[in-house]
Structure formats: structure tokens, C-alpha cells
Amino acid sequence: MNFPINNTKLSVLFDSQAITAQRWRSSSPKERAERLKKINGWIRDNLKQIRAALKSDFGKPEAETDLSEIYPVITEIKHTLKNLEKWMRPVRVSTPLTMLGTSGKIHPEPKGRSLIIAPWNYPFNLAITPLVSALAAGCTAIIKPSELTPNSSALLENMIKELFDPSEVAVIQGETETSQELLKLPFDHIFFTGSPSVGKIVMKAAAEHLTSVTLELGGKSPVIIDRNADLKDAAEKILWGKFVNCGQTCIAPDYALAHESILQELLMELKVGLQKMYDTEYKGIEHSHDYARIVNEKHFSRLLDYLADALNHGATLEFGGHTNPSTQFIEPTILTQVDDSMKVMQEEIFGPLLPIKTYQTLEEAVSYINSKPKPLALYFFGRDIDNYETVIQETSSGNVVINDCVLHYSHPNLPFGGINNSGIGKAHGYFGFLEFSNQKGVLKQRVGMTSLSLTRPPYDLKTKKLIASLIKWF
């Protein structure tokens, strides 16, 4: 709904969701499943429209839309439908001796009214996947999609209007000011996906109402290529992870750390791999139908600035570098001889530039990673178990993937998210359900005399001895 930014209208909408949120507290697994099935049905009936919206927003190839926008949402729904009843069930916990006669259970209750703020880079997936978790948990939602992908945002608005009453789920389009108006409302949970800098603004606003947050942020995710990695395999997987969506992926390998002994062979494999993926007929990657474009002029100029800055500071251009401002095309670009004085090694790149830095010892690579904010994802290519165990043990990141990249996003049973600068909280499957639920502990005591009544005042000698024995024995 193209609500003008108007506090009163937002408040009316917000209030209307309070009534639904109360009603939905007791919704059955079947009722919640029906809401998810409606979304699934709509997606299957509107595949062409989804593909067209993404294509017009930033030239996203249809196959990539299927793979990275539609497939993850459909599998998220399928996984949730399969497990929802189990997730919703109260879980009995064991009773300690001191509480004999009681029983304890954890009841997952819906938090209530949720706000979902989505980014532009996977505009469909990153608005609807959190919605699946919200609906599974029994929450209502207001979705604020990104203003940078207007066709996808309009599609989301139409979709939600067709499927839900605004008092259940609503889409509010708008710029930053709209987000800020929404953030003034006392939501019960905010699920934000976007940059760390805006994540801080969201968290500050949430603090005003002590609203819980899930922050799915970004940053620089490194990929280590160890000396005994299968370089052809590594190159092909890194290229896909880096250049899908034209590098505009939060978990794309941002920069590579390659063992110095394998750099030349790795570069060769990367160049061969790029040719194979995007330029089999040697016409130039710009003619490929399988490569997306940069979302807008601002990001296009930002990336050109990073590239120019790296070259000016002495980086070597190993591949790519061609650009076309009229279509916001940036060729997949590989740089070596990079260092921390360059913007490509300071800022999240979020585009098709891959800087490669070399290391001599694994300790050096690990301490380089540990000197930076904790990444969203960390990738390791190599066969040496001790080496990848060292990396898992000695670094901190949201996720780690060995011998692949980006793949963990699609694993339904793994938590997805970051740590500190790369995020707070986890998404997907059961972990997404938990974010939108309050784990309410419920303790039931028997009526009348209980073992703990013996510890009540007056604290005579007998009572004191009993309390002392609690400390000693339990």
C-alpha cells in the first residue's frame, strides 16, 4: 500500500495489527500453514512477474532469480510446513531434585507485531523469507522493502494485498524517512536486513521501546585458498559465489587470501572459469545474458571509485576492468598486489571486484582476519583437516563453509546470520521461527506442601541447616 508517510495512518495500521496479533496468539499449526500455503501458491502462479520485476530492477538473469529468489523461499516454506507443528509444541524440561513435584515447559509464543525491513539486493527473497518465519511463529508483519528496486517493491505490495488483509500483513513502500517513521512504533520484533551502518540506526530506534531485533548485516567475508586446494574446483566455486547477482550478495567472498605458492595457478583457473561461465563465444562478458548489472548509478560510481583507488595505490589488474555507465555494467574484475591502504580492502565491496592478497603461513591469514570486524561468512578451500580446523577454532564469523561458498544459505537446518558487525540473531528454518517467538518458560507447582516450603522463615536452626545443605549438596 503506497501509504504516504503519515504517522496517523501508520498508527492506524499498526493498531489494527494489534487485534490480529492477539487473535493469532492461539492460531493452530494448520491455520499458520494455510497462510504459508497462500504465499507458496501465489509464487507458483506468478513466476513470470517475479522474474520480470527483478530483470527490470537490475538486469537479473531469470535463472538467477529462480535460483536465488524463488527457490530459497519455496524451500523455506516447504521446510517450515514440514516442521511447524513440532516447532510450536511446548517442550517439557527435566526437573531438578530440589523442584520435585513441579513440571516445567517451554512454550514458544508469538512475539506479536513484527517489522521487516528488507534490502534491495535479493528484494523478493529477503522480504518473504523473514515473513515465512514471522507467520510460522504467529506474528503479524509490516514489510518495508527497499526503494532502490521499485519494480520488486511494487510486486511485493501487490502480492501481499492479494493474500492478506493489511491488519495481518502489509507492505509500506518508501524511502529512509518511511523506515524511520515505522521505527518509531513499538513493534514486538524488528527483523532488519541491510548494512551495518543502518543496522546501528535500527538498533538505536529499537532500544527506545526495548524491542528485540534480528540484524542480518554485511561486511567483508574472506575466502582462504590453502596451498593444497583443488584450484580448478575452488576457482569455479569462488567465481559463482562472487559474481552471481553481479557481486551484490551479502555472503559473496569479498576478498581472497591465497597461499603465495598457488597464486599464479589460481589466477589462471579463475580466468578460464570466467570465460567458461560468461563468455564461451569470446564476444565479451558484456554480451552475456547470464550476468546482472549494478543496481544504480550511485553504487556504480562507488565501485568505479574503489577500482580507481586500488589501481592508483599500486594494485595489479589481472582480469576485467571494463565498464559501461549507460547500462551500469562492470566486468568481473580481479586484482592482486592489494593492501589495506586501498578502499577495496577497507569497505564491503558489494560488487564484482575480487581483490586477492597472498599469505605465507596460515597463522598470518588467521591473524589478518582476526584484525578485522567479524565476518558474516568465512570460506576455506583446502584438503588439510588440521588447517581448516584451525580456521574454525581460531576465527569468529557467522558461518564457515569448507570447500564451497554461499551454499550454507540454502541449508535448512543451519542457522544463518552474523556476529557483532555482521549481525545479531539468526535466520532460516527453526532459527527464524525462534527469532519471532518468545521462549516462555512455564512452571507448574503442586498445591499445598512442597519441599521448598521447608526453607521459609522463620529461619530457625533446622531451616538454616536445610538451606546450608542445599548449597552443599545441590
Closer CB to ligand NAD, 56 or 316, in the complex: 56
Least distance to ligand NAD from the beta carbon of 329, Å? 19
Q: Which residue intervals of 143-296 are DSSP H helices?
A: 150-163, 176-183, 196-209, 231-243, 263-278
Nearer to ligand NAD, 111 or 408 (CB): 408
Among the listed residues 168, 185, 178, 186, the one whose alpha carbon sits nearest the alpha carbon of residue 144: 178
Instruction: CB nearer to ligand NAD: give 32 or 113.
Output: 113
**Partners of 381 in beta bridges:** 225
Nearest to 229 by CA among 378, 380, 357, 379: 380
Structure-block grid coordinates of residue 447: 498445591
CA–CA gap between residue 73 and residue 80 (Å, rounded): 10
Among 111, 139, 91, 189, which residue's Cα sits nearest to residue 442?
91
CB of 419 to ligand NAD, least distance (A): 11
Does residue 216 carry a catalytic annotation?
yes
Report whether 291 contacts 304 (CB < 8 A).
no
Q: How far is the CB of 426 from ligand NAD (least distance, A)?
A: 10
Residue nearer to ligand NAD on the CB measure, 359 or 409? 409
User: Is residue 103 classed as helix, strand or coil in its secondary structure?
Assistant: strand
Q: Which is nearer to ligand NAD, 76 or 226 (CB)?
A: 76
Least separation in angstroms between residue 22's CB and ligand NAD is: 28
Q: How far is the CB of 162 from ligand NAD (least distance, A)?
A: 22
Interface residues with ligand NAD (CB under 6 A)? 117-121, 126, 144, 146-147, 176, 179-180, 193-195, 198, 201, 216-218, 250, 348, 350, 376, 418, 423
Identity at 79, one-letter amino acid code = H
User: Considering only CA atoms, which of 306, 320, 206 is closest in space to residue 271?
Assistant: 320
Please state the closest distance from residue 177 (CB atom) to ligand NAD, in A: 8
Q: Which residues of 88-98 are buried (b: 16+ CB within 10 A; e: fewer)?
A: beeeeeeeeee
Q: Kindly state the helix (H) or strand (E) to which residue 42 belongs, with its residue range.
A: helix 29-45
- The dihedral sign for the CA sequence 237, 294, 311, 364: negative
Helix (H) or strand (E) holding 10: helix 7-24
Residue 125 beta carbon to ligand NAD: minimum distance, rounded to whole angstroms: 9
Q: Using omega within 30 degrees of 0 as the cis cutoff, is the peptide bond preceding 458 cis?
A: yes
Buried b (16+ CB within 10 A) or exposed e, 340-377: eebbbbeebbbbbbbbbbbbeebeebbebbeeebbbbb
CB 209 to ligand NAD: min, Å: 15
Residue recorded with cell 503519515: 6
Nearer to ligand NAD, 20 or 149 (CB): 149
- Which is nearer to ligand NAD, 117 or 231 (by Cβ)? 117
Closest approach of ligand NAD to the CB of residue 126, in Å:
6
Q: CA 444 → CA 95, 100, 103, 441, distances in Å?
A: 11, 11, 5, 10
What strands lie across the sheet with 113-117, from one edge to the other? 169-171, 140-144, 113-117, 189-193, 212-216, 423-424
Residue nearest ligand NAD (C-beta atom): 218
d(CA 351, CA 306): 10
How many Cβ atoms sit within 10 Å of the Cβ of residue 298?
Answer: 10
Closest to ligand NAD by CB, 118 or 135: 118
Pick the catalytic residue: 246, 250, 348, 405? 250
Q: Which of 216, 236, 269, 331 is catalytic?
A: 216
Active site residue 147: no
Instruction: Just list the catalytic residues.
Output: 216, 250
